[in-house]
A and B are shown apart, each in its own frame.
Chain A
Amino acid sequence: MAEIVIKNVRKEFGDFTAVKESSFTIEDGEFFMLLGPSGCGKTTTLRMIAGLELPTSGEIYLDGEEIAQRAPSERDIAFVFQMFALYPHMNVYNNLAYPLKSQGMPRAQIRAKIDEVAGILGITDILKKPVGGLSGGDRQRVALGRAIVREPKAFMMDEPLGALDAEFREHMAEELRALHDRMGATTVYVTHDQLEAMQMGDKIVVMNNAVVEQFGTPQEIYDKPATMFVADFIGSPSMNFLDFSGTIANGDTAVDLNGHPMGMPELREGASGDLAFGVRPEHVHLTDDGTYRGEVLATEYLGTTQIVTLQTPNGEVKARIASDQTAKTGETVGLSFNPGTITLFDKSSGRALKSALNEGVLHG
């Protein structure tokens, strides 16, 4: 098992830059998520770790060894493909045996190894079947089996649940996480689904437009977003941005929103110009007597909670409130925000301003 260090890795395809200088560290045994919208460079990053693409520049260390320019077969990394890529001309057993055969392992040992892995994954009774007729879940298990059977230093997974039905995906996600916890192997997992990333990951890297926006634990990324992109991409509905402009100074603990002072964590830097006041929908509260008011535009019932969309002087705001609280369309209500959860952003750079909340989380 291994630690993976990505250092200033860059990948260009002709004129197109798929990944700009990116650096992050995946610790031994971590379940590490590469998250971002399609085309952000996350899959390219994963393929560079596995050796399916070679970086244009930069270094990749696996267990302290520099491997960036090595062939995939010299890296001891397994890869689970989105479409599984099971060898269609072989049955399940031979698919699982294939990586072991390349190592020249004796037949009896291969059989023992496959029996063990098939037992773990619950696919013992389909070993003799051709892969063509398998259900999505079984294909997924065989693909995982092929990856774990040779006990590699690390696993790369490229949206492995993307090809499954939504209903089954949840189940498979749990199975995958349980498997990881049992084996403790370093796993890098690419997804565009922020819920999947939050649910399964020990740590998340959020990428956008070929750059790493932030990396940290799911809680850090959710509560202390480093950029407006992260704040917007993570969470559903995403973070509210109340636009205002003005000047704020290091040490401030409140901002002026349309004449109303709003509390926030103590700032560690000053800024001026177009700014945004970021607040998660669950930290917006509706009060009858608040002075900062907004008009209810729509309500969306979700069972235990409801999402209320309001028009405020600083833009549209969504609030997540208990579903037994009444909010009628057209009504004007008061709003208040949990001061400890607020993040301020500089709109021109998209960067979060340092404050008592997020210091220590932001990098550079």
Chain B
Amino acid sequence: MSAHAINAPSARQKWVAGSLVILYALVTMIPLAWIMITGFKSPADAISYPPKVVFEPTLEGYVNLFTTRTRQTQEFLENNPPQNWADEIVRQYDMVIVGPSKFGERFLNSVIIGFGSTFLSVFLGTLAAYAFSRFKIPLADDLLFFILSTRMMPPIAVAIPIFLMYRNLGLSDTHLGMILLYTAVNISLAVWLLKGFIDEIPREYEEAALIDGYTRFQAFYKVVLPQAATGIASTAIFCLIFAWNEYAFAVLLTSATAQTAPPFIPTIIGIGGLDWPAIAAAATIFLLPVMIFTILLRKHLLRGITFGAVRK
């Protein structure tokens, strides 16, 4: 082979590689596309077999997701003309919108708990990782192993003790309780990932800042943090994905006030069965924050998952 073959792929190699990536993307995106499309179908189209690829799109699923409706008499419907386009959609089932559904609230809970615990995990994780990376800590290796050991069994294995503990502490069904729980699960991942990144940052940068007249803490946040941005961003994505998608603890510990979207979505009931378009609409909206967050941080993520191997 000629020497350039190692570095520069030929047009044919590029074509093959490109096709494989597109094929893989197609396979993985089909379920996503199916969910997103179903959100715009009518209940009848959603469960028709064979599945309809061409259909008349409707916002019925989204309207049902965000509202509560009630059936009304023909007389009432005639005397009260529809007030807006959403009202009009539900009239076809002789119903009227009587108020918002709980989805908005549940979604907001997910945002508060997901981002709250992500922030807390990354914040505490960064401080701990910096300390483990830079200072002489007695029993540092044992402490790190202890932190890791919290992930050696599936978190749900301790569900019952946590349930009892939370009940006694008054943390059940509270935002704070869920943020603390998800932080406890994520913190070991955050410490270990971030320690790897901070280890890679040469100490000389901080020492230069110390010499330049800054305190240790100023050196940390003005010099180390910007260097660790890649690691912090990718750690944040991993933490958010876990907290955002978590289902089992949410079912067990939350109900009225702090319930997140995952346990809520499957409970969306329509008329005469599950309201699949509304569920699909909920899933679509539920996907968005993580997607946006990941797209915003994707530059860092790509470098992040190589674990800093290509730095310097």
Interface residues of chain A, those whose CB is within 8 Å of chain B, are 50-52, 71-73, 77-79, 81, 83, 85-89, 98-99, 102-103, 146, 150
Contact = CB atoms under 8 A, between A and B. Distances in A.
A54 to B, nearest CB: 12
Interface string B206-250: 011111111100100001001100000000000000000000000
Contacts of A99: 211-213
5 tightest A-B CB contacts, nearest first: A102-B213, A85-B204, A99-B212, A85-B208, A89-B226
Contacts of B227: 88-89
A73 B210 contact: yes
A364 to B, nearest CB: 33
Contacts of B204: 81, 83, 85
A262 B223 CA distance: 63
B213 to A, nearest CB: 4
A87 B204 CA distance: 10
A186 to B, nearest CB: 15
Given A87-B223, A88-B227, A89-B226, A78 B202 contact: no
Given A85-B207, A85-B208, A87-B223, A73 B202 contact: no
B50 to A, nearest CB: 56
Nearest to A90: B226
Given A52-B207, A79-B207, A85 B212 contact: no
Nearest to A99: B212
A102 B207 contact: no
Nearest to A81: B204
A137 B226 CA distance: 25
A150 B202 CA distance: 24
A78 B210 contact: no
The B contact surface, by secondary structure, is helix
Interface of B: 202, 204-205, 207-215, 218, 223, 226-227
Nearest to A52: B207
B225 to A, nearest CB: 10
A174 to B, nearest CB: 25
Given A87-B223, A89-B227, A73 B213 contact: yes
Given A87-B223, A89-B227, A79 B208 contact: yes
A89 B214 CA distance: 17
A43 to B, nearest CB: 12
Given A52-B207, A73-B214, 9 more contacts: A72-B210, A73-B210, A81-B204, A81-B207, A81-B208, A85-B202, A87-B205, A87-B208, A102-B214
B210 A52 contact: yes
19 contacts: A50-B211, A51-B210, A52-B211, A71-B215, A72-B210, A73-B211, A73-B212, A73-B215, A78-B211, A79-B211, A83-B202, A86-B208, A89-B226, A89-B227, A98-B212, A102-B212, A102-B213, A102-B214, A102-B218
B233 to A, nearest CB: 14
B215 to A, nearest CB: 7
A98 B209 contact: yes
Contacts of A87: 205, 208-209, 223
B231 to A, nearest CB: 14
B298 to A, nearest CB: 20
Nearest to A85: B204
Nearest to A98: B212
A50 B207 CA distance: 10
Contacts of B208: 79, 81, 85-87, 146
Nearest to B205: A85
B134 to A, nearest CB: 13
Nearest to B216: A71
A77 B207 CA distance: 12
A252 B218 CA distance: 65
Nearest to B208: A85
A17 B301 CA distance: 43
Q: Name, among B202, B208, B215, the residue most crowded by chain A CB atoms within 10 Å (CB to CB).
A: B208
A302 to B, nearest CB: 38
Contacts of B209: 87, 98
B308 to A, nearest CB: 14
A50 B208 CA distance: 11
Contacts of B215: 71, 73
A52 B212 CA distance: 12
A156 to B, nearest CB: 8
Nearest to B207: A52
A71 B210 contact: yes
A85 B208 CA distance: 7
